[in-house]
A and B are shown apart, each in its own frame.
Chain A
Amino acid sequence: MSLIRAAKPQGTGARVGDAARASGAVVLTDVVKRYGRGPGAVTALDGVSLRVEPGSFTCLLGASGCGKSTLLSLVAGLDDLTAGSIDDVERPVAMMFQEPALFPWLTVAGNVELALRVRGVGRAERRQRAAELLDTVRLEGFAHKRPHELSGGMRQRVALARALAQDASVLLMDEPFGALDAMTRDILHDELERIWRERELTVLFVTHNVREAVRLGDQVVLLSSRPGRVLNVYDVAMDRPRRIDSAPVANLAAEITDALRAEVSRHAG
């Protein structure tokens, strides 16, 4: 029984051409991102190819400086590629950060409604949709609170509700639970998994927490550092919902951690 299969890094762009054009897919082909010019230029990403199936959950894992966040802004279309291509992304995508997740001067409902307002949703409908979304993330009754009155976990719930308000098929998450305690994070994993399945979202989830990646991902993409390249793609064929402290999760996490550690020490040495 092979629960875990370590796939080879996806190679050249040749096999990307026949990609299914379903909504919510993300196909990266030889993506290069360089900042600056001349000798001072920094290559953040160097030939990253990756296929994200519609409705799948992909975790991007790597040491700091591996260009995970750069990759997300490229997918979001917030930044331009130096070379390569990103296809099939149904934009606009929804995005969620660790900090600052919310505008502090708006109420909880105001933050969620902002995403709706941009899409031209009328006032009454906005109010109703925001209430529904806050319901979805189990924050009913907090609509009129300000962000500073909420705990970190609750703030991330609001951020999630706002991301959902964008009604995008692709959700990009940049270490969204990085600043939370283990218990809160565990609960939010369950919530995120539930919402992801209910709404059939395609999720790209950046983290440096290996167990979190294995807990959540259908595939875990291990990136190298400076420049960022795909080192390995792990398909996680475990039943859901998974427990972050279960043996299969821990085993695969240990395997990936070893690979990550080797990569990090290669750079340190």
Chain B
Amino acid sequence: MATAVKGVEKAVERRHHEIPPVDDEEQAAGRASRPRGKRRLGPGKAIPFGYLIGPLLLLGVWFWGSAAGWIDPRVLTAPWTVATTAWDLWESGRLGPDLLVSARRFAFGLAFGVGAGLVLALVSGLSRWGEAIVDGPVQIKRSIPNLALLPLLLLWFGIDERMKIITIALGVLIPIYLHTHNGLRSIDGRYAELAETLRLGPAAFIGRVVLPGALPGFFLGLRFAVTASWLSLVVVEQVNATSGIGYMMLLAGTYGQTDVIIVGLVLYGLLGLGSDAIVRIAQRRVLSWRRTLED
């Protein structure tokens, strides 16, 4: 042991001798780079408006490709053409009403879907009987794409707004149910014990323990749900509609107006990104009690 220690000491000594004298400049550089050496395993501090960087990069590539002439405008319209087309559509009063109709369908579909998904998740999450009855059908619905259900929904509900909202709500319900149910069941069992020792009643237990505890899951579900709502909207509006952005795109397709199609796609993209950002902001506010890698 003693010889081993001596050996280490010698090695340290030797290394010490090997270090050549450094000038001030180098020393300063070493000091400056020291914080970089202090590595943290988490993702680090949040970048301000970081979520915009990826989309802007994508936009940049599109812009640059079109400007340099690498992208054939017949395949993909240049971004400035898309912008002027959008402006023309807006000016002529064609875009505004369609956008409003689409937004309304999105909002109603999302609201009903979230409500239904939440209720089903609570019923199924809090009672074994509820789970036995609810969970199976939801899983079955989950494996059936909305597109396949559409003919049936058309027969049942006709072609009016009701049918569109129901279709969207059906798409929204699934992720809300799955993630809320999962979040609820992943609540630490000891919190339930704690609630029992505090003699919480069922209402207080749901309100103070279950709902807040399931919120992380719910928000994850909500992010999927928002996307699902836009996706269902596209399907609904392109299959049978006489208004909305999807209908506008469908019409443009038959006339070969690539720029209008792209306007629609960009709108879907922007609305999707915007609504996701809203959900994430809400999530950060509401879940401020958590300490995760997110912070």
Contacts and interface: CB of A to CB of B under 8 A. Distances in A.
A206 to B, nearest CB: 14
Given A104-B290, A105-B289, A115 B198 contact: yes
B212 interface: yes
A122 to B, nearest CB: 15
B200 A118 contact: yes
Nearest to A159: B194
Contact of B208 (A104, A106, A162, A166): A106
B190 A146 contact: no
Contact of A146 (B193, B194, B201, B289): B289
Contacts of A162: 198
Interface in B191-238: 191, 193-194, 196-201, 204, 208-209, 212-213, 215
Contacts of A118: 198-201, 204
A148 B190 contact: no
A114 interface: yes
B208 A114 contact: yes
Contacts of B213: 105
Given A100-B194, A114-B208, A92 B199 contact: yes
B289 A104 contact: yes
B194 A103 contact: yes
Contact of B190 (A78, A92, A99, A147): A99
B193 A103 contact: no
A78 B208 contact: no
A76 B197 contact: yes
Given A118-B201, A146-B288, A105 B193 contact: no
A117 B215 CA distance: 22
A97 interface: yes
Nearest to B291: A148
Nearest to A148: B291
Contacts of A95: 197
B13 interface: no
A114 B212 CA distance: 14
B197 A78 contact: yes
Given A106-B208, A118-B204, A97 B198 contact: no
Contacts of B198: 114-115, 118, 162, 166
Contacts of B208: 103, 106, 114
A105 B196 contact: no
Interface in A76-94: 76, 78, 92, 94
Contact of B188 (A92, A100, A148): A100
A106 B207 CA distance: 12
Nearest to B190: A100
A104 B191 CA distance: 10
Given A95-B197, A115-B198, A146-B289, A103 B209 contact: yes
A148 B289 CA distance: 7
A95 B196 CA distance: 10
Nearest to B215: A105
A114 B200 CA distance: 9
A62 B201 CA distance: 34
Given A114-B200, A162-B198, 9 more contacts: A76-B197, A78-B193, A100-B188, A105-B289, A106-B208, A117-B204, A118-B199, A118-B200, A147-B289
Please provide the 10 A-B residue pairs with the shortest distance between their CB atoms, ordered closest to farther. Answer: A95-B197, A105-B212, A105-B289, A146-B289, A104-B289, A148-B291, A92-B199, A118-B199, A115-B198, A100-B190
26 contacts: A76-B197, A78-B197, A92-B199, A94-B197, A95-B197, A97-B190, A100-B188, A100-B190, A100-B191, A100-B194, A103-B194, A103-B209, A103-B212, A104-B289, A105-B215, A105-B289, A106-B212, A106-B289, A114-B200, A114-B204, A117-B204, A118-B200, A146-B289, A148-B289, A148-B290, A166-B198
Interface of B: 188, 190-191, 193-194, 196-201, 204, 208-209, 212-213, 215, 288-291
Interface of A: 76, 78, 92, 94-95, 97, 99-100, 103-106, 114-115, 117-118, 146-148, 162, 166
